[in-house]
Amino acid sequence: MVRDHSIITMVMDYSIITIVRDHSIITMVMDYSIITMVMDHSIITIGMDHSIITIVRDHSIITMVRDHSIITMVMDYSIITIVRDHSIITMVRDHSIITMVRDHSIITIVIDHSIITIVSSPW
């Protein structure tokens, strides 16, 4: 189907749907659960079998991987990384670094060239 420079492609056996409208592209593949949306230079990719979500909007990147629990967010040159299986949280905002490791209980904060490190012992 082609309507006003919009293209729609549907294949039911392998479940491929492609929609192109005004330079925005939507692609859905149902067997492998891939959804890709490109709208105004923002890219959204969702893969449901391995749970990968990638969102790129205005130079900000959000990536989520749920099987291994990795979340990465890059917004305005600030980086947030969360790994939940090994409990690592890293935040970088305005040249300040916060790192948390919960299995070994290490907290490191670097703000304005000052370093704060907390190591909690189990006893």
Residues 13 and 35 in one domain: yes
pTM above 0.75, yes or no: no
**Do 54 and 112 share a structural domain?**
no
Q: How many CB atoms are located within 10 Å of the residue 7 CB?
A: 12
Give the pLDDT score at 103: 60
- Its domain, for residue 95, covers 68-123
Residue 78 CA: distances (Å) to CA of 10, 46, 52, 67: 40, 23, 21, 24
Is residue 23 located within the same domain as residue 80? no
Query: Which of 41, 45, 43, 49 lies closest to 28, judged by CA?
Result: 45
- Of 51, 66, 81, the residue that ends a domain is 66
Asked whether the beta carbons of 19 and 29 are under 8 A apart, the reply is no
Instruction: Count the domains in the chain.
Output: 2
Q: What is the mean pLDDT of the chain?
A: 60
For residue 14, what pLDDT is reported?
A: 54
Query: Region 39-47: what's the mean pLDDT?
Result: 61
State the pLDDT at residue 42.
59
Say if residue 15 is in the same domain as residue 52: yes
pLDDT of residue 83 exceeding 60: yes
Mean pLDDT in residue range 44-65: 61
Paired sense of beta strands 88-93 and 114-119, if any: unpaired
Confidence of residue 123 (pLDDT cuts 50, 70, 90): very low
Q: How far apart are CA 47 and CA 44, in angstroms?
A: 10
